[in-house]
Amino acid sequence: MTKPIYISSASAISPQQTYEDEGLLNEIVSTDNGELYIKEPNFRKYINPVAIRRMSRLLKMGICAGMNALEQAGVEKPDGIITGTGRGSMTDTERFLLDMIELDEGALTPTSFIQSTYNSINGWLALQTKSNGYNQTYVNRGSSFELAVLDAQLLLNEGDEQQHVLAGCFDEITPDYVRVKSKIGYWKKPTVNNLELYKNSDTNGSIAGEGAAFFCLTNKPENTICSIEQLHIIQEDSIEDVSTVLQQTLAGINLNDIDIVLSGMSGDVRFQPFYDTFLSNLSDKTSVAAFKHLCGEYDTSTGFATWLATELFKQQSLPEVLAAKQGNSGSVNNILIVNHYTLNSASVILLKKN
Amino acid sequence: MSGRIVITSTGIVSALGVGTSANQKALKDKKAGLRHPAILQTKHADEFIVGEVLHSNEELASMLNLPSAAAYTRTTLLALIAMQELMNEENQALLKDTKLALVNANTVGGMCSVEDYYLEFISDKEEGDFVQYIDTLDCAESTMHLSQHFNLKPLKATISTACSSSANAIILGARLIQAGLADKAVCGGCDALSRFTLNGFHSLKNVDKDPCRPFDKDRFGLNLGEGAGYVLLEKEEDAIARGANVLAVLSGYSNTNDAYHPTAPSPDGDGAFNTMQQALKKAKLQPEQIDYVNAHGTATLNNDAAEGKAIERLFSNANISFSSTKPYTGHTLAAAGVIEAIFSIWSLQNGVAYPNLNYNTPMEEISLQPNTEFVEKEINHCLSNSFGFGGNNVSLVFSKA
């Protein structure tokens, strides 16, 4: 069976101050309009001025988070680059599609077509790091990030020598994307302030979010932050089945060891009963935290949660802004990420501090 | 590889037809599937030829016993049609109670429908037929339908690495089985023609108005196609134990990246060379042992120059047969890898290397020439290439069981 793999660095660009930032979540961004867009860092640090002019925002987000994770880990050229995205560059997809419709299939420029390709960020990261190794992109809704991690786990288990894999995820929202998805109940109506999100779970839907998160993963424990002990990908045909399988999965985990549960409570009334039951049965030791009130709901939000976990391991405490319940465990050694996503998927990720 | 991975079933739909026998017959008769689009509604219909599956969405739906095609995208319908061939009675029983992985591949999801409804998507309208297509843009939409339609409970993964997508799906399936995370894997890909991709490639100025001419000096570009294909992978010992008909062995594979340019391959073919070499290494084969290379051969200026040089370099001392079958099917993008994998498997079974249609004038860059007629010979090992945007290169090696 597969052995654990280790996270040696983590980088996140999110709606909060999370990128190259000293101190965890010192200032919290809050909004009442139900849309959490990323705080733009200085993208020019990792992208050359000629290339950056044509690049759309998701490319810049993905490349910078990826390059920053590599820099933190001191890895110049990873052995593999594996990513997951639910939607790819919506900006480019929408732009090419609308131009094509408006120009009635007239003369179009290829830039947004090329950048709408889901693997374009992988291509850029390979190009920038001259990495000829394994390269893969998963586009599988709420399991996209998890599949990237699973593949990294396979890859790192396939060899005995130390290897470094850059794995990550990226998704963006656009005004049109938010509007279109509102027609099929993605978002809370009326919306709520993001900081109140998980306390408001009496309507369907959540708030829109986005972000990029990248990790350097390796198969040796030295100089790493934590290990990925378990990864469960749950994909069923209905919300009820997802909840059932999720409960079965969690029943197989020793919850007494868990210091913090990072729960994907999204404010959606359909998922809250599951979280209520699960979280209320945890012991006094275990803290319960939320994360979607900070990053919003999107296909690869568990990438943000995983980044958050690496920060909690470093900090050894749980900031109030995350806590739904402070447990009495004095340290942070085991974190369980439990996430339920709109399109009938869920995941469980168990991380253990090194 | 420890415990060889074999292919025991396939399903296919392409411009050559629905199912194995239609595709095999068209290949044999040198009957290309390229024509002006009849189903895809595009302003460029009189200008370009494409490899279109000559059935309307409603016809495809009725072949699947669906009440109607409503809410299904053509991408999903093509996927279901190909999968239906693979899901014969025996496999239905087999795959229902097995630890299964379903690895699908796709480049633009249900764009073929989304582009019809997009103005309604973004309008003030809240209700209408368009609503049922809002979530179909996702690549995973067809994957979900594949598992639901055939009552499967697999681990589902959808890959999107441009033109190498479904070749990558085959690799992942094999690796999941090797790692013990699946006992069987259904792997493949699907793509339907869309105005989005046609205009996209046209904006790159590499769509040919005439039938494409891979590896020809006077080639101009590609013809787009559509289709889907799936293969069933399992361990050789499991296949033998259940008395399955083993079609071929997946003896090697490789996934590498060019790291050269966002869309263009390294001009000397270093990337393609590296990928093919790694796949041979994995298969523990020497270049001389490869009897046929089913090339990526899109007929774009860049690809064929790079791939041609790489093939010449790697197989310089070998009596290699190579050809591109894209003049038959068009470039089916995410489906290309698996469709050509299936063609390669038939090549092993039937002892025949396919002709590179439309080839007249040798390229200046290489002295090696593709075979223009069928080459009948013992084919023990066959290499299939799929190279994509983003420098995503994949080579697969299939060997006789």
Each residue's pLDDT tens digit, B284-331: 999 999 999 999 999 999 999 999 999 999 998 777 999 999 999 999
The nearest CA of chain B is from the CA of A12 a distance in Å of 23
Is A114 within 8 Å of B204 when comparing Cβ atoms?
yes
The answer to whether B70 touches B77, Cβ cutoff 8 Å, is no
- Specify the pLDDT at position A1: 55
Active site residue: B139, B145, B149, B163, which one?
B163
Average of per-residue pLDDT across B340-354 = 98
Q: Catalytic residue among B55, B145, B149, B296, which?
A: B296
What are the residues facing B187 on neighbouring strands? B103, B231
A72 pLDDT above the threshold of 60: yes
Question: Considering only A12-26, A179-193, B349-363, which range has the smallest mean pLDDT?
Answer: A12-26
Please compute the mean of the pLDDT values over residues A284-290 and round it to a whole number.
Answer: 97
Which of B297, B395, B292, B386 lies closest to B348 in space, CA to CA?
A: B292
> pLDDT > 70: what percent of chain A?
99
Split at pLDDT 50, 70, 90, the class of A342 is: confident
Peptide bond just before A190 cis, omega within 30 deg = yes
Average pLDDT over chain B, rounded to whole?
A: 97
Q: Has residue B358 got a pLDDT over 60?
A: yes
Q: What is the mean pLDDT of residues B70-97?
A: 96
In chain B, the percentage of residues whose pLDDT exceeds 70 is 100
Residue B203 has which token pair?
């904006």
Q: Is the pLDDT of residue A2 over 80?
A: no
Alpha helices per DSSP H over chain A: 49-54, 57-73, 90-102, 111-116, 120-129, 144-158, 175-182, 239-251, 272-280, 292-295, 301-315
pLDDT range class, residue B1, cuts 50, 70, 90: very low
The mean pLDDT value of chain A amounts to: 96
| pLDDT band (50, 70, 90) for residue B2 | low
Domains and CATH numbers, chain B: 5-241 (3.40.47.10), 252-399 (3.40.47.10)
Q: Which two tokens stand for residue A289?
A: 């935290």
The 10 Å Cβ neighbour count of residue B382 is 26
pLDDT digits 0-9 by tens, B232-277 = 999 999 999 999 999 999 999 999 999 999 888 999 999 999 999 9
What is the residue whose two structure tokens read 């950048």? A115
So what's the pLDDT on residue A180?
A: 98
Identity of the residue in B109, B114, B158 whose CB atom sits nearest the CB atom of A138: B158
Cβ of residue B302 closer than 8 Å to a chain A Cβ: no
- Mean pLDDT, to the nearest integer, of A6-14? 98
Does pLDDT of A276 surpass 90?
yes
Decide if B382 touches A, using CB distance below 8 A.
no
In angstroms, what CA-CA distances link B19 with B75, B246, B324, B339?
A: 16, 19, 20, 11
pLDDT at B49: 98
In 3D space, the residue among A212, A197, A232, A200 whose CA is nearest the CA of residue A307 turns out to be: A212
> B140–A105: do the CB atoms touch at under 8 Å?
no
Catalytic site residue B296?
yes
Q: Using CA atoms, how far apart are residues B361 and B355, in angstroms rounded to an integer?
A: 15
Residue in B145, B149, B331, B381 annotated catalytic: B331
The reported pLDDT for the residue numbered B317 is: 72
DSSP state of B139: T
Work out the average pLDDT over B187-215.
Answer: 98
Q: Please name the amino acid found at residue A335.
A: I
Which residues in chain A have their CB less than 8 angstroms from residue B150's CB? none
Helix (H) or strand (E) holding B23: helix B20-28
Half-sphere exposure of A316 (CA within 13 A, CB side): 3
Does the beta-carbon distance from B175 to A140 stay under 8 Å? no
Mean pLDDT over A9-31 rounds to 90
- List pLDDT tens digits, range B112-135: 999 999 999 999 999 999 999 999
Interface contacts (A, B; CB < 8 Å): 176
Q: Does B257 touch chain A (CB under 8 A)?
A: yes
**Domains along chain A?**
5-227 (3.40.47.10), 230-353 (3.40.47.10)
For residue B172, give every residue at least 6 positions away whose Cβ sits within 8 Å of its Cβ, in sequence order, or none: A136, A151, B101, B103, B157, B159, B185, B187
- Residue of chain B minimizing CA distance to A181: B134
Question: What is the model's pLDDT at position B146?
Answer: 98
Main-chain phi, psi angles of A131, to 5 degrees: -95, 110
Buried residues in A2-14 as b, exposed as e (16+ CB within 10 A): bebbbbbbbbbbb
Report CA B321 to chain centroid distance, whole Å: 20
B191 touches chain A (CB under 8 A): no
Q: Average pLDDT of A36-57?
A: 95
Residue B99, chain A, CB below 8 Å: the answer is no
Q: What is the mean pLDDT of residues A109-127?
A: 97
Q: What is the pLDDT of residue A20?
A: 85
Instruction: With a threshold of 0.85, tell me whether the complex ipTM lies above it.
Output: yes
pLDDT of A141-182, one tens digit each? 999 999 999 999 999 999 889 999 999 999 999 999 999 999
